[in-house]
Structure 1
Amino acid sequence: MKDRHHPADACEHRTAEVKQDARADRRAATIESTLVLATAFLFLSGLASQLLFGNVTALISNFFEDRPTLELLTTRPTVGPFSHIVLERGEIESSSNVEVRCEVSSRGSSGTNILQIVPEGTWVDEGDFLVRLDDAALQTQLIQQQIVCSNSQSAVIEAKANYDSAKLALDEYDKGTFKEQLEKQQSDVFVARENMRRAEEYLVYSKRLASRGYVPEAQLEADAFAVEKARKELKVAETKLEVMQTYTRQKMLTQLNADIETAKARLQSKEKTWELDKIQLRQIEDQIAKCTITAPCSGQVVYQNKQSRSSSTVLIEEGLPVRERQVIINLPDPTKMRVIAKVHESRIGHVRPGLPAKLLLDAMPETELSGHVTQVSEYPLPAVSAYMDHVKEYEVAIEIDSPPKGLRPGMTAEVRVLVDEIDRALQLPIEAVTEDEGRFFCGIPTADGGLSALEIQVGQANETAVIVKEGLREGAPVVLNVTDPDVAEELSAAIANL
């Protein structure tokens, strides 16, 4: 007989299964929650670790995956002859350049107008006509000054006549008038003495008669008075004679000599005034003569037309004024030509007088000329603008040996000044060398496609190559394109790691 479960037992068994399933579900939920929390914890821990410390593996993987491939151009240092050359550009001018200037004084005006001028480029010989300036105002001044000179001359003639008259007056008095007055006074003294003698004799005679009673007393007193009067008249005459000889003559001679000196001083003053007037007259005549300018030597006429950067005004032209000492025309000697070059301050220390040079003219590219440095400026040229004030350039003059025909001032040329020549030197293209804080480096390609930095010691350099003194051997591969941005960045990093 089959076992039959009691319903109560079945219910109890079912209840037990339900409880067991519930406990299993709870355990499963607990395990699942634990796994979820563990997974979240690991995720958050990994994220924090990656944020705080960085996922090195991922960064390295990304670096190698995103790193661009460097395109390296290489070259090799070579041993051979080296020429240290300073390469610049310059302008041709004549080294024997005669400047024709305006020598007419402006006299307070803005200048003197040009009435006529020979065309630019004309070949002239010594003495040929060049420029005629306006002399109308000078001609008026000439007439006025001639009148002034005539008046001055008249004043001189009058002053000279006064001077001669003063000298004649002195001779007249000393040799004529004084002698006449002297003799007259001496005659007066002689007459007075004679009158006194006669009066005295008559008084003696009157006294004899009075003693005999023939002459009254009054007559005797009158005769005595006559003697006294004659004596006083003689004394006065002698005094006048003494005064004339001692004082009057000296006084008149002093006055007449003073008149002579005064007349002489006035004459000298008038003569100097006349001389100054004549000098001014000659100056005006000279100024008029300088209004016509002729060639001092043979040459080609070149106008001195230096225009301002802010204006295109022509300075030399018929009708325009020129000031005193302004250069109007240049007469360059075509047999003596030179090039004026501007050399940067970084290279001027290598240039000195006597160095040979090669020149290539833009107008004659097929002809190479030779020359030599004749002059190196001691001071930098003025800056052409405020923006270029930091650029310092020095003027260098290169004399051209045997200038060819057709060479004209103003032409431009490329100048190569040979500073030094070395028969054998290890050299590298200048593009393969970089400078960092006074040290020089070059890039060496590595096996993995990168590059490493190598410090070298350099010597002289020209426009294309630089001498390597130490740090590199002949034939070693060197990166050429170190100026490429990516290569330059890589080389900078390699230099920083040295």
Structure 2
Amino acid sequence: MKNRYYLLIALGVIIVLIIWLSGGTGQSEDVSVKVTVERGDFAIDVTTTGELEARSSEKIYGPAGVRDFRIWNLKIEDIIPDGTVVDSGQYIARLDRSELGNRIKDEQNELEKLESQFIKTKLDTSMTLRAARDELINLEFALEEKRIKLDQSVFEPPATIRQYEIDLDKGQRAYEQAKKNYLLKKQKAEADMQEVSASLNQSKRKYDQMMQLMGQFTITAPKAGMVIYKRNWDGSKMGIGATVGAWDPVVAELPDLTKMISKTYVNEIDISKVKVGQPVEVGVDAFPEKEFTGEVIEVANIGEQMKNSNAKVFEVKVIVNEFDSILRPAMTTKNIITTDVIEDVLFLPLEAVHSNDSMTVVYRSNNTRQQILTGKSNENEIIVLEGLKEGDEVLLSVPEDTEKYKLKTL
């Protein structure tokens, strides 16, 4: 038992000695990373994050003509998942029919009312014209009787004959007037029937259009492709519950995946550097091993406010030159826009350049603090115009004993 105790003490002493030896003397050695001034072509880039979308797409529209029935908004009741591949004629979505259904019920009631009015007007005109025709027949018979009486009054006194003549003239005038009245009544009856018939036919057409429109509330694919949800003005996707406007009744889109663009936003500080035609390196976050090339095809003239930020950004569109079946809309992209290339210049990392008292210096490996004149810079490096030459070594960071480094001016 005692031997075990001494063994443990010996092991503890050995461990303490190992820790002390590994700690050294407590003096730290100043080891600084050195970099070399390089010469070559200097690229100035603007790096942004964007999103893939198809350059062109076929829109999938909802029912056309709903504005004719005072329907201004259509709610998406059901829609297949975003990114679903469909064949031509396959089901895409269903819109809420409730508002149109109410319009159909109202029109159906109006149609029944007009049908009843049509039948009533038809019966009224028939009865009116029948009465007028009966009156004409009776007047014609009465006129014939008066003519017979006049013919038989040859041997009657002149006064009696004259009375028969007057009665005959009155009967003739009554008959002629009745004929004219009948023609007027007939024309009025025809006009009334045309009016009621026109209203009835208009209501029937409207009802038939509504019933035909009802079938368009089930949306199908116009051709084969991948269904992509339409986006609202704020960038949100229009899925179930979203509202489709009657002025632009687009429910979804079928993008052409053979031509893709990367839509990105550049801050207002860098936007002056970005021009149409500049080359772009495009990467996709989902496939970091893939690299694509592109070109700036559109730069917005007016900036917009970023959500939840005071920063202003400008929309920039980059066309992707290559086609790859892995590329899908809404994939996140990294865009390196080359805004300028300066040929045959000296440059070194930004971390190696230090500014103090309106003087820009670098710390050289020969214990000197060299003043330099710098030019343009990119995200990682800066151009050296004066003070250094190709191959010179400088320290990447500020050394601890800066007082030992002698200042050397231009």
Normalising by structure 1, what TM-score? 0.55
- Residue 203 (structure 2) pairs with residue 285 (structure 1): no
Partners of 1:99 and 1:435 lie apart in 2 by 56
1:255-266 matches, cutoff 5 A: 255-266=181-192
Partners of 1:427 and 1:421 lie apart in 2 by 13
**Residues 169, 452 of structure 1: CA spacing in aligned structure 2 closer, same or farther, 3 A cutoff?**
farther
The structure 2 residue matched to 1:380, chosen from 300, 303, 321, is 303
- Residue 327 (structure 2) pairs with residue 407 (structure 1): yes
How far 1:393 sits from its partner (Å)? 0.8
**Residues 123, 183 of structure 1: CA spacing in aligned structure 2 closer, same or farther, 3 A cutoff?**
same
In structure 1, the residue corresponding to 2:195 is in which secondary structure?
Answer: helix
Partner residue, 1:230: 160
- Residue 386 (structure 2) pairs with residue 463 (structure 1): no
Partner residue, 1:87: 47
Structure 2 residue identity aligned to 1:334: L
Instruction: Judge which range, 411-420 or 329-338, deviates more.
Output: 329-338
Q: Which runs of 5+ in 2 are unaligned?
A: 1-30, 403-410
How far 1:424 sits from its partner (Å)? 3.6
Q: CA-atom RMSD, angstroms?
A: 5.2
How far 1:292 sits from its partner (Å)? 2.4
1:56-455 matches, cutoff 5 A: 79-100=39-60, 103=63, 111=75, 113-114=77-78, 117-132=79-94, 145-146=107-108, 148-156=110-118, 159=121, 180=140, 184=144, 187=147, 191=151, 195=153, 198=155, 226-227=157-158, 229-230=159-160, 232-233=162-163, 236-237=166-167, 240=170, 243=173, 249=176, 253=180, 255-302=181-228, 316=239, 321-325=241-245, 329-385=252-308, 388-389=309-310, 391-425=311-345, 429=349, 442-443=360-361
Partners of 1:424 and 1:177 lie apart in 2 by 117
Whether the 8 Å CA contact 1:373–1:399 is kept in 2: the answer is: yes
Partners of 2:216 and 2:94 lie apart in 1 by 9
How far 1:371 sits from its partner (Å)? 2.1
Partners of 1:483 and 1:230 lie apart in 2 by 148
In structure 2, the residue corresponding to 1:366 is in which secondary structure?
Answer: strand
Whether the 8 Å CA contact 1:433–1:441 is kept in 2: the answer is: no
Whether the 8 Å CA contact 1:304–1:315 is kept in 2: the answer is: yes
Q: Which structure shows the higher helix fraction?
A: 1
Whether the 8 Å CA contact 2:53–2:261 is kept in 1: the answer is: yes
In structure 1, the residue corresponding to 2:295 is in which secondary structure?
Answer: strand
1:470-489 matches, cutoff 5 A: 472=386, 475=389
Partners of 1:483 and 1:264 lie apart in 2 by 105
Structure 2 residue identity aligned to 1:411: M
Structure 2 residue identity aligned to 1:90: G
Q: Deviations over 1:64-117 (max 9, x none)?
A: xxxxxxx99997876532334322111122223445466597969994643xx5
Structure 1 residue identity aligned to 2:333: A
How far 1:262 sits from its partner (Å)? 3.6
**Residues 84, 234 of structure 1: CA spacing in aligned structure 2 closer, same or farther, 3 A cutoff?**
same
Partners of 1:425 and 1:107 lie apart in 2 by 66
**Residues 154, 435 of structure 1: CA spacing in aligned structure 2 closer, same or farther, 3 A cutoff?**
farther
Structure 1 residue identity aligned to 2:90: D
In structure 2, the residue corresponding to 1:367 is in which secondary structure?
Answer: strand
How far 1:232 sits from its partner (Å)? 4.4
Q: Deviations over 1:402-433 (max 9, x none)?
A: 32122222221211223344444565655677
Aligned length: 360
Partners of 1:415 and 1:112 lie apart in 2 by 35
- Residue identity over aligned pairs, in percent, reads 23
Partners of 2:394 and 2:143 lie apart in 1 by 130
Q: Which structure shows the higher strand fraction?
A: 2
Q: Deviations over 1:443-495 (max 9, x none)?
A: 377999667686x6x56x54334567xx73662989887999x99xxxxxxxx
Q: Which runs of 5+ in 1 are unaligned?
A: 1-70, 200-225, 488-498
Partners of 1:157 and 1:375 lie apart in 2 by 66
